[in-house]
Structure formats: C-alpha cells, structure tokens
Amino acid sequence: MPTETVRLVDGFGAGSISGETLGQPETTRTEWEFEDDAQGWQSGPGVADLTVRDGVLQGRTTGKAALLHVERTSEVAPDDPVHSIEVRGRVSAGSKIAVRFQSEITPGLPKAQRGVGTPGWGGTLDIEPSDTMQTWKIDPPVFSSPTAAGARHVILRPSDAEGAEFEIESVRVVFESEHLAKLESGRGWHGLANIFHDSLLLRAGEQASFQVVVPRAARLELELGTPGAEPVSFRVDLSSDNESMRLVARTLTTPHRWERISEDLSRWEGRSVTLSLSIAPDRPGALGFFANPTLRPRHANDDARPQGVILFLGDTLRRHHLDAYGYPRETAPQLTRLAREGAIFLDPIAQGSWTKVSTPSIFTGLYQSSHGVKGFDDRLSAQATTLAEIFREAGYATLAYSSVPFTGRFSNMHQGYETLHESQSVRSDIGGPDVKTARAYVDRLLAWLDDHPDTPFFVFLQAMDPHDPFEPRSPWDTTWADPARRQTHVDEVERARSHIAHGFMRGRGMANPEELRAAGIDPEPHYTTHRDWYDGSIRGMDAELARVVERLEELGIADDVLIVFTSDHGEEFGEHGEIFHGQSLYAEMIEVPLVFKGPGVPAGVRVDATVEAVDILPTVLELAELAAPDVVQGRSLVPALRGEALERQPAFAEKWVRDKEDLTVRRQGVESFAVVDERWKLIHNTKRLDGVPEFELYDRFADPNESNNLAEANPGELARLRGELDAWRQRVGKVAYDAGADGAGATADELEQLRALGYVE
C-alpha cells in the first residue's frame, strides 16, 4: 500500500527558500487613535459618559452588556478576511473583553445585544483590571473573523462588569492581506474561500527547492491560489543530472480560488531530482500559495486492503428513521443496499448526543472523558491521534468535507488532513450557510475522484441534511410531508415562539410539547410535519450517497473502496418532552446507524451485539492493515465481519453540562452518564434539575422508547450496571488529554452557521 508518497511540505526546512523578496504588497491599515476626538465611536447600550480626554476614549459601563460601536470607513477589499484585532486600553473591573462585527447596524444595536456573553457572541479574551495600559490581541482561536464586507461595523464590549471604568488608547483591525504581507514565507495552513490546505507561501523573487527521489509512476499534484486581486505567476521547475525543464507555468488572475495542477513524472521514476517552486518576479510584492505539493505514486490495488476509505457521516441521523433498521418508510434505499452488500451493525451507540463532543470519539477511538472535548469551547488536543493522521502518515491523500464548524478548525479536527472544506465554503441559494450540504459536497468529491482514480485516499464527508431546519429541498419536501400543511406549520412556529423559554430554541422556533400546548397547538401534528421533513431530508442525502457509489462503479474502483456510514447522534421529536439534540442520553439521542461495505467485508453480515462509535477507528485501521494508536478505547469489529461472535461488552455515553448555558431549562443543567448492556440501560444523572431522578433503568427489549423507569423495581440490575459505570469512569479518567490545546477558533461566518443551527445566539 502507499508508502512512497512524497509531500514537499514535510521536507520544508529553514534552508528551503532562496532568492530575495521583490518588494512588499501595499496594504491598508485600519486603526483608530483618539488624539482629539472619538473617531466615529459611539455609545451603545450599557455605556455612559463616553468622551475623549488626553488622547484616550473613556467611559463607564452601566450594565454587563455594555457596547461601543463604530462604522469602519477604510477601503479594504470586500473579500479580505479579518485576521485579528488589537485593543490598547485598561479597565477597572471585569474579566473579559469582546469584539463582534456586523455588515449592517440598526438603531440601538438590538441585533448585537442578543446573546451578549454567550458562547459565540463574538471574539472574547480574558483580561485583568489594571491601572496601566495593556495591549489585548484577540486572535483566531477566540475571535470571529468575517471578510471586510461583513466587518463594516465594529462592536466592542470593553468589560463584562457593571460599573467598570474603561480607557481605550487605540483599536486596530488587522485584515488578512496586512497579516500575510508581514508573515514569514514558508509552510502554513492557509485557506481561500473557506477551503484550507497544508501550503507553502512564497513571494515574488523567492524559490523553494526540494531534492527528492521520484516514486513509481508518480504524479506531481498541487493546487495554486492567491489572496490578491493582481495577477500572480506560479512556476514549478524540475532539474536532474542532465536535464532541466519547466513543469508548470500558470498565471492566476482570480483571487480566493484554488486551481488544481497534475503533472506526470513517470519518466523520472526512481531518479533523484530537484523540484523548485517559485513566484515569477513580474510583479513586486506578489504572493501565492502552493497547496499540498505532493508526488503521488499511481496505485494498482492488487491486495485485499482498500485503496480508499470514505467515512460518510449523516449528521443528526437516528437509526429509527432508516428502512435498513426496520422503519416503514423507504428513507434510505442506497444505504439499505450497502447494508445488504456489506455489514450492518444493529445496535451501535454514539458516545455523545451532539456533534462537537461525539465526532472526536469517532476519529480518535476515545471517550469524551479521555479526548477532553466536552463543551462548546473545547478543542481536540494535538496529543490525540486521529484517523486522518494515521492515513496521512501511511501515504494516503486525506480530504475532509466539514458541514459544521464543530468538525473543522474550530475544534482542531483538521489534524491529519491535506485539504479541509469548511462548512462556510457551501452557501445556500439565498445567501448564508447551507445546511443541506450533501449535494454540494458530493459534487466536489466526484470531481476529485475523477482526477484520482488510482490514488489511495481517506475521505471524511459530513452531510448535514437531516439536521434542523428539517425542510428538505424539492422534490423531497413533499415526499411524505403534506404541502397544504406547510403554511399552517410556519404559523404555528411563530405562535409558539413567545412561549419558548430557552433562547437558542426560541430563535429556531423549536418548541417542546409543553410550550406548544401553552400556545394552544397540538404537538402531534406539529411534530408530524417535522418528522415528515426529516425523513425527506434523509432521502435527499441518500440520493447523494447513491451518486458516490455510482461514480466508484463507473471508475472501476467500487470493490476497492471501503465505505463506512454512520452518524454522530440522533434527534428528539418530543419523546421525552423535548426537541433537538444534546439534552439527554435517551435512545433517540445515541442510537445511530453503522454500515460497512468494501474490501474485507463479506456481504449479508448482520451483527446484533451492542457496539460503539469508538470502535470505528480500530476497525477501519485493521481492514487497512494499519497500526492503531497506542491509546485506543474502542475495539476492532473485524471478527464480527468474519462471522465470529463478539465478546459481550457494554457501551457508554456521556453528557457533560455545557458551560455558559442557561442551566435551568431544557435539561442543560443535567449531567449524565449512560451504560448500555444489550437488554439493559442505566442512566446516572449526576447533576440534576427538579423532577429529574438520579437513576433511570430501562429494559430496551420490552421498552425501546425508554418510557418506563425500572430503577426502583429492579435494584439488583441497577447495582450491577452502576458498578459497570463507576468502574468505566475510573478507567477512562486515567487517560485525559488537555482540551483546548493547539486549536483554532470559529470565524464569524462559522458562528453564523452555528447560530443558524441553534447552537449559539
């Protein structure tokens, strides 16, 4: 299998770049200094006595949601992203400063006020009161970063304390063009149009040279891009002992777009050559990115291992709505076909009930207690080894299509990928983020497969289609839903909105049964429309999965590609008094699908045993004959694929209290741990709200909806499972990575999508 792949970025060192930079690009500096006036800054809500004195903008907060506002007037390219903001000042009280951008402002800043202090409101930085001036730099890990077009208005929260006195000496917004102009040439993680690559940044007059041995039947593959509006000429030259030639001469005139290059190097197979990458000196100050410059050997799959792996994740997909699991509607015929031609696991358990905390378990084989991603602001530690990193190390091309910031840079989940398509690279027809992502991402994947039919690869594709808002695209919007009821449903959402206690859900118009009844609405027909649309969205996603299988067959590699289909969590439609996800560990939250089809997977396998999402990593790696990391808490399911009985082993799930939430409603203040031992399930609610029992015990065979708590009636089973759960918590607690290390935060566009999905206000 692929071991000869040569990535030039891996060979980059201090001496790789030669030549002399020909000038620096001109950039616009956006800064406010208060020498004699307020420079356009105005008081918003919660700010009093705003004035300028001795070159300092000063005032006092009268509430915790105190805001200042200015409209930016400097001329910056509209598609130039914000890189960071620097504030020099001091405060007498408080612990945080925050900044937010908006493209437009209404009087009184009502939009900006919503959700002040909640996760995702804006870029936030911890500060300390002081008598002296300090410089606060809010960088991407904690900062929202739109393009210049979306950063017309700057909103500053100088302190989170009421009655704090503040003084501000200067405010500076640093745009990406200004940042790149000062950035040292070399290797970095660079994005254009929210598609990111492991890249080399070079400037006009510079050259990066690499001496390599050309692998068998290799191609040179890379993508080129520039953030500037002026044309940039890229060059790639090859030289050996007795010849030299120019492989690539390409001028880009469109900024913020990647252009793919592929050159056949088979005539130099086995020879030592020097590859030189450069930006032509035809425009001083020009800069560009050489993304993923890689020598990839062509691969003839002549063994039992997969040439490629596609991990297809249907977000928010409970298995109870799939015909492969007995659902009466044919919501996913392609998935049913894959299950018939491969293996279906009938009782998989997700390790969490929302995307942020669940997907790291899939990619590391670790529980939340160990990988450390338990809440909104947590990021996967670089110490953890991901599935993508293992495949990259083995020479595979690694590619990710992320449909929500939780599976991208915001969570440090880009570890190991050569290329990452962030969620904001997919836009809807009416503007804003598109939450029905399967079609757009499958389009991109098919184009990539067409160019790489003989390339070993690992692809992660997250389809957001089943997620709220549930209404699917045509024609799936009327597959099961009555079109005559659509307007009635929309009207009911608006009627119920004022009765919804939880701010996130109020913004989404998602009322629980109690709130619907308070608005005079019958919950059952209301939720029926939700479920009908949900099923239609699943069917639409399944149609895109069918296109992937079809293209693999057209390329002649269907039998060489392992497809793994699963989900990160499910969705509740009022079964336990709520809607949405993340609030509990009931069946509708953590019972997900799991299907394998491909090399090493016999047809017609059906596995009844309870398995877990943490089992996916070791199973895929064994099928690929790659070694698992030293620390993995899941087990390989390959024995079950071979017809062997799996040893009975309980499954576990966790729900930690999410920081900075309203913990009094929607069960957000409940902290729970669950153990599933085939027939029996125990939920231990270690932190509770009124009316929530400490223990919930369910007979899953007799009561699959988990509506009859048997904790008091069956103390023996309760004691046994509590012992299992306590022992597991002690065991996994011995491995704990530092969540929050080595991460990158959400941009404003990413936060826009999180708001659209109901995760932040």
Give 121-166 pLDDT, tens digit per residue.
777 888 999 999 999 997 643 334 577 787 889 999 999 999 999 9
Is the pLDDT at 742 greater than 50? The verdict is no
Same domain, residue pair 192 and 219: yes
Residue with the larger pLDDT of the pair 748 and 198: 198
Q: What is residue 761's predicted lDDT score, i.e. its pLDDT?
A: 41
Q: What is residue 302's predicted lDDT score, i.e. its pLDDT?
A: 66
Stated as kind and residue range, the H or E segment containing 661 is none
Same domain, residue pair 262 and 346: no
- pTM for the model: 0.89
Please report whether residue 512 resides in a domain: no
Pair 318, 263: CB distance under 8 Å? no
Same domain, residue pair 599 and 696: yes
Please report whether residue 479 resides in a domain: no
Name the DSSP class of 411: G
pLDDT tens by residue, 660-717: 554 545 677 899 999 999 999 999 999 998 899 999 999 999 999 999 999 999 999 9
Q: What is residue 326's predicted lDDT score, i.e. its pLDDT?
A: 98
Averaged over 309-332, what is the pLDDT? 98
Arithmetic mean of pLDDT over the chain: 90
Please report whether residue 112 resides in a domain: yes
Q: What is residue 245's predicted lDDT score, i.e. its pLDDT?
A: 94
Same domain, residue pair 91 and 107: yes
Residue with the larger pLDDT of the pair 106 and 721: 721
> In terms of DSSP H, where are the helices of 374-501?
387-393, 438-451, 486-497
Please report whether residue 520 resides in a domain: no
Domain's final residue, options 241, 272, 297: 297
User: In 10 A of CB 698, how many CB atoms?
Assistant: 24
Domain's final residue, options 271, 297, 323: 297
Q: Tokens at residue 479, please?
A: 């597959």
Pair 179, 83: CB distance under 8 Å? yes
Residue with the larger pLDDT of the pair 20 and 469: 469
Q: What is residue 119's predicted lDDT score, i.e. its pLDDT?
A: 61
Same domain, residue pair 247 and 151: no
Same domain, residue pair 205 and 289: yes
Same domain, residue pair 574 and 688: yes
Q: CA 458, CA 306: separation in Å to the nearest integer?
A: 10
Per-residue confidence band for 325, with pLDDT thresholds at 50, 70 and 90: very high
Domain's final residue, options 159, 178, 197: 178
Q: Which range, of 53-57, 183-187, 697-701, averages the lowest pLDDT?
A: 183-187
Please report whether residue 85 resides in a domain: yes
Same domain, residue pair 70 and 174: yes
Is the pLDDT at 428 greater than 70? The verdict is no
Same domain, residue pair 641 and 707: yes
Please report whether residue 523 resides in a domain: no
For residue 164, what is the domain's CATH number? 2.60.120.430
Same domain, residue pair 94 and 10: no
Residue with the larger pLDDT of the pair 596 and 64: 596
Averaged over 180-206, what is the pLDDT? 90
Q: How buried is residue 496: exposed, middle or buried, by Cβ count under 10 Å (0-12/13-18/19+)? A: buried
Give me the count of residues in the chain: 761
Q: What is residue 743's predicted lDDT score, i.e. its pLDDT?
A: 38
> In terms of DSSP H, where are the helices of 471-522?
486-497, 503-508, 513-518
Locus of tokens 């999402």: 613
Please report whether residue 526 resides in a domain: no
Q: Is the backbone peptide bond immediately before 81 cis, with ω within 30 degrees of 0? A: no
pLDDT tens by residue, 86-121: 999 999 999 989 888 888 887 767 777 777 776 667
Is the pLDDT at 450 greater than 50? The verdict is yes
Averaged over 562-586, what is the pLDDT? 96
Please report whether residue 524 resides in a domain: no
Same domain, residue pair 11 and 36: no
Count of structural domains within the chain: 3
Same domain, residue pair 16 and 34: no
The whole domain housing 620 covers: 308-474+531-756
Is the pLDDT at 419 greater than 70? The verdict is yes
Q: Tokens at residue 626, please?
A: 């790659």
Q: What is residue 431's predicted lDDT score, i.e. its pLDDT?
A: 54
Is the pLDDT at 85 greater than 50? The verdict is yes
Q: What is residue 475's predicted lDDT score, i.e. its pLDDT?
A: 95
